[in-house]
Structure 1
Amino acid sequence: MKKDTQYDLQIAALSEKTHEYVFDLGTDFFEQFDQTLIPDGKLRADVVLDKTAQRIVLGIHIEGTVKLICDRSLDEFDQPIDVTHQLLVRFGDHEAELDDDVLQITPDTQTLPLAQHFFDYIGLAIPMKKLHPRFQDEPDENPDADAKLIYSTGAASDDDDDEDASDPRWNALRNLN
């Protein structure tokens, strides 16, 4: 990842109150990451920062579209994204990521980089199965609909018992006990 400071928040000089920020996430944002998941997009990230003496709470809302490649047709399409996350930043003696949504920073930290968090939140909002909108209304194919049971280790059903009783080979095997 290339370092781009336009997605960093200057937190050192902030007063203890609520602040609001807006970030535009476009082609230049996605180019700074070495990845192929999201080639391009046009999103807006609204960040509400609430600073207190002990912690910073960031409310992050990202809305817009990303360009994806359809898994079925390989056509490019726009996938709408609307995601809301909360990031908690607390002050401590060393910097650490305590959880996915909890960071610890030192009190003398000057900037808080948000680019990786934005990218992670967008990536989590992308569906596993990327389908072009023209395929999304089709019902999912159920591979088990016409499937025939070939082997089962479970208990036999009533139909299987009737077949076993009529086959003389099974009767001979049962008499071995």
Structure 2
Amino acid sequence: MKKLKEYDINIAKLSNKTHQFEFDMDDSFFDLFSGEIMHGGKLHADVELEKTETLLTLHFDIKGTVRLTCDRSLEEFDQPVDVQETFRMKFGPEDTELDEDLWQIASDTQQINVAQHLYDYIGLSLPMKKLHPRFLEEEDEDSDDDILIYSSKHAGDSDSDSDEGDDDDDIDPRWDALKNLN
């Protein structure tokens, strides 16, 4: 996959300091992955890599738009994306995932590929409910602020909220009968 190599960073040749990398992603980038959520887009990623003797720290700053399909109307629309994430790679004896944001890579690793990280961070930034912008105003109108909660008191209930008194008096007799089943 020649296109995937565009997202390689040769860490063996880098000195122990901070390095800057830029990546542009378009429809051909999304074709490299088998996801059905994102159909394409145009994004730019600034990746800052801090290299030390034992650790690589990658700071991702991704901005642009992704083409999605509306869950309500099935129309395609452009969703703005603005992502800032940090990922760490620690040098060790073998390649292992230690945590979701920390991997261990072999000490003799020559290069890393950030394409999967870029794709994952973009996907994680998307809303669960994908709505065309024209439906967002309707969603705001139907917000939880308009929900009314009704409460009623049974006859004989007192207005006091104290915990004193018998709690057994408030139990429905049908539940009382269930206690006898043991």
TM-score range for the pair, normalised by the shorter chain length: 0.7 to 0.9
Counterpart-to-counterpart distance in 2, 1:72 and 1:147: 28
Deviation string, structure 1 residues 30-70 (Cα, Å, up to 9, x no partner): 00111211010100110001111111111111100000111
Correspondences of 1:88-99 after superposition (within 5 Å): 88-99=88-99
Q: 2:54 corresponds to which residue?
A: 54
Structure 2 portions without partners, runs of 5+: 157-172, 178-182
Contact 1:2 1:33 in 2 (8 A): no
Aligned to 1:140: 142
- Residues 37 and 69 of structure 2 are in contact (CA less than 8 Å); yes or no, is this contact kept in structure 1? no
Give the match for residue 17 of structure 1.
Answer: 17
The CA deviation at 1:161 is 3.4
Q: Give the match for residue 43 of structure 1.
A: 43
Q: Equivalents in 1 of 2:143, 2:65: separation in Å?
A: 27
TM (norm. structure 1) is 0.79
- Where structure 1 has 5 or more consecutive residues not aligned to the other structure, the ranges are 149-155, 163-173
Aligned alpha-carbon RMSD (Å): 2.6
1:98 shift after superposition:
1.1
**Distance in 1 between the 2:39 and 2:69 partners?**
9
Query: Are 1:2 and 1:32, in contact at CA under 8 Å, matched by a contact in 2?
Result: no
| Distance across 2 between alignment mates of 1:146 and 1:157 | 13
- What is the identity percentage for the equivalent residue pairs of Structure 1 and Structure 2? 49
Superposed, 1:8-157 pairs within 5 Å as 8-138=8-138, 139-140=141-142, 145=147, 157=152
Does the Cα contact within 8 Å between 2:43 and 2:66 map onto a contact in 1? yes
> How many residues are matched?
155
Letter of the 1:87 counterpart = F
Report how far residue 5 of structure 1 moved.
1.1
Residues of 1 paired with 2:44 and 2:128: CA distance?
22
